[in-house]
A and B are shown apart, each in its own frame.
Chain A
Amino acid sequence: MATQHSRSAARLMMAPAVILLLGWMLVPLTMTLYFSFKKYLPLRGGDLGWVGFENYVRFVSSSAFWPAVQATLVIVGGVLLITVVLGILLAMLLDQPMWGQGVVRILVIAPFFVMPTVSALVWKNMFMDPVNGLLAHLWRFFGAEPISWLSEASMTSIIMIVSWQWLPFATLILLTAIQSLDSEQLEAAEMDGASPLNRFWHIILPHLSRAITIVILIQTIFLLSIFAEIFVTTGGAFGTRTLTYLIFQRVLESQNVGLGSAGGVYAIILANIVAIFLMRIVGKNLDA
């Protein structure tokens, strides 16, 4: 039983983590909110006074805003679709009996451990380069004209790179979930004459639904803020400027801190909408 003594000790032991995270959250958040209501140009006059909600209005009414929202949605949606669908297929494949399962698993998971700048640059140069890239060689081999991927098919390229990075994550989590499926249930269905498609639709997919939800929520949070992949490939050009990248440009490149901060507040609100759903699932799991 917890005594009074151990309770106060427990509080003391929690204190450093709680205080640090509280500071990490509140200090920058307050500053972002503060700047978002100011006309603040560090290189062109500095603090030029309060402007109310002007930055918020200007951020959403600038010509770059809606394309950025669209780019964000296309990238997040595209990557989610590819990683979840292929992740389910891969997880089911890896769950089958085979020789060398452990090695295949390692091969499939490996991209997740590659740092974002490396995977983006390797794809950009060694695969997507229109002259020397492997894809260009492949296209020429089939007699087709090589594509300059990152300028002509910029979104497809970014989605391909990011999907390659996140497919292992989806696969690994879905595989873990599939392995907890009771195989007797599947066998019973098989004996009752359920077709493979029926078994997938009525037993496997429902069993995976929670894991799929978790994959979608966690990936969405990370995908909303992908940065390095765009930074080293297109630098936001060719329609790949996401919301995150737009805010980065406003804040650090054009040093319009007020405007960028208002964008930052939008990004925080957006991420929190997703986070609320994730927290509900995780919270429910804590009670169990």
Chain B
Amino acid sequence: MARAVTANRKMINTAIAWAVGLLIFFPILWTILTSFKTEAQAIASPPIFLGFDWTLENYSIVQERSDYMRFLWNSVIIAGGSTLLGIIIAVPAAWSMAFVPSKRTKDILLWMLSTKMLPAVGVLYPIYLLFINLGLLDSRFGLVMVIMLINLPIIVWMLYTYFREIPGEILEAARMDGATLKEEILYVLTPMAVPGIASTVLLNFILAWNEAFWTLNLTAVDAAPLTAFIASYSSPEGLFFAKLSAASTMAIAPILILGWFSQKQLVRGLTFGAVK
């Protein structure tokens, strides 16, 4: 039942909520605006909000000077590769836990979750050493593996909570009709599981894209993704606000857009199904 609300009250709610929303969003908006200014306008006093000469030069400077596209490509490969690999490994595991549960399923799930709690810094040197010895330091393959592993528990959990919502009777009916295990997975389960898998892919791509402990510590030049590229602006030379803004805008735009599609899954994914 909808609560009866006066138009007046609704107007006040709207005004407060929009003001708060814009205040929280403001740093992002300011970054996007600044990316279209010249460096001089970016530090003008008093600050210019909209009345500046819009320019795209920062974007081309960032690309020319530091080969932005290479970092972008590394981010795509690392986030995409680790998510894809994680899904391939997690789907069978989550499937079996959801549909053929045993006494130990709960323990295995909780144990997987516990590996996620391991503080990265506690195993920094071992991983660093292994990377050196295996020749993986500053390689995309190495980062794909590490980021896949840190997100694997979340992927398994999300898929598990989605798979558990698929009624088991349908699978039994398919089995009665003589479907083999392979057919059951391919023709019965997969179509029903696609939305859940898609949400899992989306959230994990976002998490992998923004990961900034291993990407900062295990890359130098060749495999550095956008997180590391942006970090290089922490010791800049000369005027750089507009260029920093342009680089930042390009680094966050794809994820902001993906993120808007994944708001609902965010809650489920990050609370391991404890809040839906």
Contact = CB atoms under 8 A, between A and B. Distances in A.
| A: contact size bracket | 35 or more
B14 A28 contact: no
Most buried by B among A115, A134, A214, A287: A115
Interface string A192-219: 0000000000000000001100100010
A7 interface: yes
Given A113-B252, A187-B3, A227-B121, 5 more contacts: A16-B92, A113-B206, A117-B230, A227-B213, A285-B273
27 contacts: A2-B100, A10-B96, A18-B108, A32-B123, A93-B16, A97-B13, A100-B14, A105-B21, A107-B22, A110-B28, A115-B212, A117-B231, A121-B231, A121-B234, A121-B244, A122-B248, A126-B27, A126-B241, A134-B30, A173-B267, A176-B276, A227-B212, A252-B125, A264-B119, A264-B124, A279-B113, A283-B110
Interface SS majority for chain A: helix
Contact of A214 (B106, B112, B274): B274
Contacts of A187: 1, 3
Most buried by B among A122, A248, A264: A122
A124 to B, nearest CB: 8
A132 interface: yes
Interface string A20-45: 11001101110110010000000000
Contacts of A116: 210, 212, 227
Contacts of A118: 31, 230, 248, 251-252
Interface stretch (A48-56, A59-67, A268-276): A268-276
Interface residues of B, number: 98
B21 A13 contact: no
A267 B256 contact: no
Contacts of B152: 17, 20-21
Interface stretch (B52-60, B61-69, B126-134, B192-200): B126-134
Given A116-B210, A261-B125, A106 B260 contact: yes
